Homo-oligomer: A and B are copies of this chain.
Amino acid sequence: MDNKFLRHQLRSLHCLESDTIALLMDIFTKEPAMGRGLQWIGEDSQIRKAYVIADGWAIRYKLLEDGRRQILNFLIPGDMVGYFALLFRTSVYAVEPLTSLTVHSFTPDQMFDVFKQSPQLAVALSWLAAQAERQLDEQLVRIGRRRAKERLAHLFMELNYRLLRSGAPQPVAELFPLTQPLLADALGMSHVHTHRTFRELVRENLISLHGGKVRLKDTKGLSRLAGFDNSYLEQESLPSSTRAAFSR
């Protein structure tokens, strides 16, 4: 099962041979497609496999007792799901499709097998996980220290950058399946205030809304408004120290 988005990202690392990447793709199994809305992975559910998004969007989130929801991040094609959760018995978050969603899966056994054949792959997957953690850091800054308008603009810029990086074509990358309640729960705001802020951005001609999809109209403007610095998303290649250690 070839995952072209993941492949695209791994290739941009410039450290892996094509057939090493193929080795990884070989263990992927295509899972049945899921529909929007139904919960895929529940909080406290058992985790037996890890996944890679093949097509569609999803959210990873947590709920509080009283129903408040915090979306931790958005998952797009090429993103891994549950890689770390394999190290525990249970997940402490939930995952749910935002669109119709297809994913590839692999078991811990398969994973350890390829790691033995090619330790570089272990490093590459850790590197992907590290990348995701950087995004979490930035999500924290966004919510903790930016104001409503900046939050929206900054999130849009991140998603745009990630999509382009993953190999999505330009037009797709500027069109997000995001509703206002979703944005609210991702950015720690109420849906009403999210709406008003959203309208402001529309009024300023930075974004627009077409049938439940957000379109970015002026990425430069959004970037400036958000104070967006993409360095945390940059895919630097591995430092020589790491590469050297593994080619031994």
Contacts and interface: CB of A to CB of B under 8 A. Distances in A.
A217 interface: no
Nearest to A142: B70
Contacts of A64: 141, 145-146, 227
Where chain A touches its partner, the secondary structure class is helix
A137 interface: yes
A121 to B, nearest CB: 13
A43 to B, nearest CB: 9
A127 interface: yes
Given A87-B127, A239-B89, A140 B140 contact: yes
B144 A70 contact: yes
A145 B236 contact: no
Interface in A196-248: 227, 231-232, 236, 238-239, 241-242, 245-246, 248
Q: How many copies does the complex hold?
A: 2
A88 interface: yes
Interface stretch (A20-28, A33-41, A128-136, A170-178): A128-136
Interface in A56-111: 62, 64-65, 68-70, 72, 84-90, 92-93, 107-109, 111
A92 B65 CA distance: 34
B88 A239 contact: yes
Contacts of A84: 126, 129-130, 133
A143 interface: yes
B137 A87 contact: no
28 contacts: A62-B138, A64-B145, A65-B227, A69-B145, A70-B144, A70-B145, A72-B140, A72-B141, A84-B129, A84-B130, A85-B130, A86-B241, A86-B242, A90-B236, A92-B134, A92-B137, A92-B231, A107-B241, A108-B239, A108-B241, A108-B242, A111-B245, A112-B245, A129-B129, A136-B136, A139-B140, A140-B140, A145-B188
In the A-B complex, list the 10 residue pairs whose CB atoms are closest, starting with the nearest.
A144-B188, A84-B130, A112-B245, A70-B141, A68-B145, A70-B145, A70-B144, A108-B241, A92-B232, A87-B127
Interface of A: 44, 48, 62, 64-65, 68-70, 72, 84-90, 92-93, 107-109, 111-112, 122-123, 126-127, 129-130, 133-134, 136-141, 143-146, 187-188, 227, 231-232, 236, 238-239, 241-242, 245-246, 248
